[in-house]
Amino acid sequence: MPPPRLNHQNLRNESTAKDKTGTLDIPVKFLDQDYQELRKSCITNKKRFVDDKFLPDSSSIDPKKKLKLDLDQIKWLRPSNIVADPQLIVKEVSRFDYSQGSYLGNCWFLASVGALTFQKDIMDQVMPADQSFGKYYAGIFQFRFWRFGKWIEVVIDDKLPTINGKLIFVHSKTSNEFWPALLEKAYAKVCGSYADMHAGSVSEALLDFTGGVHVYFKLKKTSTDLWSLMDRAAKAKALMGCSTSQGVACQGEPVRLVRVLNPWGKGEWNGAWSDKSSLWNKVSEKERTQCRSLANDGEFWMSMEDFTKNFEEIDICCLSPDFLDSSSKCSWTTTRYNGSWESGTTAGGCINNKDSFWTNPQFRVRIEELDEECASGQCPENILVSLMQIHENRYRSLVSNYSIGFSVYLIPPEMKDEKFPAKFFYHRRSVEDSGNFIDTRHVMKFFKLEPGEYLIVPTTFNSKESAKFMLSIFTKSESHKRKKKPAMTRV
């Protein structure tokens, strides 16, 4: 039989599909496992799925034996072997559904899960809704995460590690509910093992849940009106380490309150506006009933002033950056570029390395002039620069983050589209930079630039350090103009 004939339309369709790989609609198959094919095979053969890419043994829990666990005591059980009537979700997903396990320090992940439960649309992206222990159950579940610029589909079996019939890691407070344990297992698979989830930052999981824009602010140092920003973010269905309401009225005066959830599920603030604070007697009975809970569930209220005094920073992650500005006349456009630092060629290090700094990848971006209303809104900043290291090692604990950052330079009008040489940087100061170099997966800076052309130079602190990166640029534009990607080009 001759091969099928391909016409130009088929080629275009194939190319289009390839271009969309890594999107929510066509996620990358993690470890080349296809959920639909594996599930169909299990149903056809009347077998329950056993994941050969994340085996139910010690290699998936603690391959380096860093946790204080007697691995010989652990038995991997399916939910149906733990309880009589397993359910993925009982009633609805809630931040109060789960408790942290005793052996794993992954409260950073669970804090992000708590934020995730507030947003059903995003939850459905991460955990597709058409899954259950009912009809066509085959012991297989799927989850989706955004990893380094691409959405991935992660397949797991539902065998969970137990000791004496009890889950040893995250577990639901309702004995027959298993979505928290399965979500944790899927993320552990992406990280390499359960032990590889030990210690981390909330922003890492927030980004992996949304694939959106991430901003963070040092609470004691920022001049940004955080209350307004957090309020806009909440209305835009952002994920945050905390959530806000519109506030309550105390003796007729509005009070700005922040609701905080401790991922450990216990341990609460005892100051003003805490659960037992007498200040609640000064608000209306309706607002008191809606807001206050006397349960020791790890959730509590604080005034905005106390919040900024007692916490160091806030992370906000949203699908779209439009929440950054309060004006409907403004919108934000996004572009991303994948690049790399290569030792000996493009790994020039920070500006301290005067002779090699210029060899770093260089990106040229144009900032357009905005009308008065858009330029003078509650958000004066008009650009957000985000730099993320891309890691290819599957095991998270084996990943070494370089200290990374970026510098921004104003380009004189006469300069052409060519690589800027070393002499360009010798006696020229950057107009902005990412701040102190830190060894983290991701750094970002939110700032204002005057209209003009700028050069952005992402770097590692030391020269000759090879790594891949993703540079994301978010710029403010006027929404009445045709929306387009910011004019960013590699020099």
* C-alpha–C-alpha distance, residues 2 and 54, integer Å: 41
CA dist list (Å): 106 to 88, 153, 200, 251, 323: 22, 22, 7, 41, 29
302 beta partners: 258
Catalytic residue check, 330? no
Contacts for 269 with CB less than 8 Å, ≥ 6 apart: 260, 300, 301, 302, 306, 310
What single letter denotes the amino acid at residue 33?
Q
> Out of 10, 45, 262, 374, which one is annotated catalytic?
262
Query: Are the beta carbons of 264 and 107 closer than 8 angstroms?
Result: yes
Catalytic residue check, 262? yes
Query: Are the beta carbons of 412 and 359 closer than 8 angstroms?
Result: no
Backbone angles phi, psi at 197, to 5 degrees: -90, -5
* C-alpha–C-alpha distance, residues 491 and 487, integer Å: 12
Cβ burial of 52 (10 Å; 0-12, 13-18, 19+) is exposed
What single letter denotes the amino acid at residue 86?
P
H/E stretch holding 366 reads: strand 363-367
DSSP 467: E
Structure tokens at 385: 């620069």
> Out of 42, 106, 107, 401, which one is annotated catalytic?
107
Alpha-carbon Rg of the chain, whole angstroms?
25
Bridging pattern class, strands 467-478 and 432-433 = unpaired
Bridging pattern class, strands 467-478 and 28-29 = unpaired
Pick from 339, 324, 266, 379: nearest CA to 488: 339
* C-alpha–C-alpha distance, residues 444 and 213, integer Å: 10
Query: Are the beta carbons of 213 and 321 closer than 8 angstroms?
Result: yes
Name the one residue in this structure whose structure tokens are 């109060």: 96
DSSP 314-358: EEEEESSGGGG---TTEEEEEEEEEEEE-TTTT---STTSTTTGG
CA dist list (Å): 322 to 212, 315, 347, 348, 477: 11, 16, 34, 34, 10
Query: Are the beta carbons of 204 and 388 closer than 8 angstroms?
Result: no
Please give the positions annotated as active site. Answer: 107, 262
